[in-house]
Structure 1
Amino acid sequence: MTPLLVFDGNCGFCTRTLGWLRLLDRHRQIETVPLQRAGAAERVGASPEECASSVRWRGADGTRAGGAEAIAHALSVALDAAWPVPFYRRTARWQERLYQLVADNRYRLPGITPWCVRYPGDCQ
């Protein structure tokens, strides 16, 4: 199973951040899908509302996560390094608070043209 990250395709900040992740993922191990694509939420075992509130992850081993934990898993795969997940676990409360602050304000943060504007055929 290919690791999968579902992100908000209407968010310019999210699209910019996805670009950084793709630069780190040199071996193209992670599939990235906008939550606006039909069936995206179901593929990560989440509701559309959960996907709208935070990025969602489904790992190759079936691991599911959201928010800062999802980012830690994605970084671990992209960097081919184990440390992001244990680091997340030691600092989870702090990371989740910071993630929520960013998520709550993501449409106000600087970004680029949102994925769904660039690739409207990829979104519903």
Structure 2
Amino acid sequence: MPKRSVLPVLVYDGDCAFCTTSLTYLMRRLRPKCAITPWQFTDLDALGISRRRAQHELLYVSPTGTVYGGAQAVAKLLLRAGGIWAWPGGLLTLPPVRWIAHGIYRIIAAHRDRMPGGSPTCAMPAAYQAP
């Protein structure tokens, strides 16, 4: 059974410069009440997360152990930040905005090595790249 935390946990790719830079930028503005950790230094089993999934997307683990990935992790992060940030967070949970956000997230994630601040180490693992 996954270990439960009092605070939500945001898990990201600490080897990816784009992910780290983006998250640092957001954290300065949002100040959400959650633990933030790179997957490389996290006990993924305790959180109920596979390494494969952690390599694939940003993950938000609620205090009850529910795991949200990608655009829905961003939505939960915005909702947790509260205030004005809760509005876009709430919108990201509603169809069709949720579906559009998912597609945009997947495109950005697939090309994060080419995004501002990205580097070759940001490239998605080969298992996630198109042939």
TM-score, length-scaled by structure 1: 0.77
Residues paired across the two proteins, number: 111
Percent identity over paired residues: 31
1:48-80 per-position Cα deviation (integer Å, ceiling 9, x unaligned): 000100011112343320000001101111234
**For the Cα contact (< 8 Å) 2:79–2:90, is it kept in 1?**
no
Alignment of 1:1-124 (within 5 A): 1-26=6-31, 29-39=33-43, 41-80=44-83, 82-90=86-94, 91-111=97-117
Q: Can you give the 5+ residue segments of structure 2 that lack an aligned partner in the other structure?
A: 1-5, 120-131
- Give the Å deviation of 1:85: 4.0
Query: Is contact 1:12-1:110 (8 Å) kept?
Result: no
Deviation of 1:45 after TM superposition, in Å, equals 1.9
**Larger Cα-atom Rg:** 2
| AA of the residue aligned to 2:29 | L
More RCO (CA 8 Å, sep 6+)? 1
| CA separation of 1:38 and 1:89: change in aligned 2, threshold 3 A | closer
CA drift at 1:38 = 4.2
Query: How far apart are 1:109 and its partner, in Å?
Result: 1.2
Taking only aligned residues, the RMSD between alpha carbons, in angstroms, comes to 2.1
TM-score by length of 2: 0.74
Give ranges in structure 1 of 5+ residues lacking alignment.
114-124
